[in-house]
Amino acid sequence: MRRRYFDHIAATPVHPDVMAAMQPFFGEKFGNPQSLHTDGQTALAGLDGAREKVAALLGAKPEEILLTSSGSESNNFAVKGIAVANQARGRHLVVSAVEHPSVLNPAKSLEKHGFRTTVVPVDRYGRVDPADVEKALTPETILVSVMMANSEVGTIEPVGEIARLCRARNVLVHTDAVAAAGSIPIDVKELDVDALSLAANQFYGPRGAAAVYVRKGVRVLPLIEGGLQEGGRRAGSEDVPAIVGLGRAAALAVERLEARRAEALPLRDRLIAELPRRVERVVLTGHPTERLPHHASFCVEFIEGEAMLLHLDMKGISVSSGSACTSKSLKVSHVLLAMGLDHALAQGSVVFSLVEGTPAEDVDHVLDVFPPIIDRLRTMSPLWTKFLQERT
């Protein structure tokens, strides 16, 4: 049975060109970039090249790119590092209700140290209203963190508009772009953000390599102290092969961004149009158009997401239900609840995310296989039986 992968939002396969770029740094180019000898400087050149490529992806300067190990580390570094470094100006943060736990949890942790957090709501599409952010600002606000795009529902947020109104109030802005970088165009100067997080494994790079853009002049304190790596802002021996892979993946994203988008959009739109037509009581989640080009997400009434995932997996189809960081728990998605969905409906979450090269026939296969799975699961659902009785 050939497997069909529709879980790009959790991890993408490492591109062959990325693997080829990494390989020498596992072997003959194994030196420590902090060493002054030729072998160390060869490794350092690999790091510097990767930094330049990530900067090019974002429209940033290489010196504004800090290399990390994951999107979660990047988010923690931005939220905690900026907040603590700038606390003399104020101790108030603003975040959205649909942020990733690696933003929400650091904000909660900061509250134990005298900071205060305001959580702004979202609409039924999971979209933040910039006016709500503006209302939440106070003279004590030092940082606003609103993600670029949501991994669970695909909605793209109006980060540029939020950043402009914050700039007028001298408030710093961070955006979690882990789900967006490499999939949609991003220019940090155009967005006017002060910090931005990304991770290689979202755009055909390896796990264990990520980055955070920090605008020149923004004060930030390190999370990991020790050596002088990353200019003293992030200690620890660098994972040179993974970082080189991040750089090559970033360069490929620059080259192939529009082609990937053009390839994914018709397949995404087919899923969005056809799935609710073939299965009744299916709700599209997220914005119908202002969403990631490779992302289609739904809630299926009277069914639990885990059951759908397992049955699809038995048919060789990989999908997700909620974010990769929470999908193993039985908790209802905080994103879907923030959008106003009730607990029962939110439990029926399923997310299809496409990878580069997904064949059209794989989407057709999903559309053929999905309805019988739902029919079978609903025969075992007392809620579905009750619904049918009430309808008649």
Residues 361-389 have a mean pLDDT of: 89
Give the DSSP letter string of 117-176.
EEEE---TTSPPPHHHHHHH--TTEEEEE--SB-TTT-BBP-HHHHHHHHHTTT-EEEEE
- Catalytic one among 218, 223, 325, 337? 325
Confidence of residue 87 (pLDDT cuts 50, 70, 90): very high
122 has pLDDT over 60:
yes
Residues 291-316 have a mean pLDDT of: 95
For residue range 204-241, what is the model confidence (pLDDT) as tens digits? 999 999 999 999 999 999 988 888 888 888 888 889 99
Residue ranges and CATH numbers for the domains of the chain are 4-10+257-385 (3.90.1150.10), 16-253 (3.40.640.10)
For residue range 39-85, what is the model confidence (pLDDT) as tens digits? 888 888 999 999 999 999 999 999 999 999 999 999 999 999 999 99
Q: Which residues contact 200 (CB under 8 A, 6 or more apart)?
A: 206, 207, 208, 209, 210, 242, 245, 246, 249, 250
For residue range 340-358, what is the model confidence (pLDDT) as tens digits? 999 989 999 999 999 888 9
Catalytic-residue membership of 325: yes
For residues 230 and 386, what is the distance between their CA atoms, to the nearest angstrom? 60
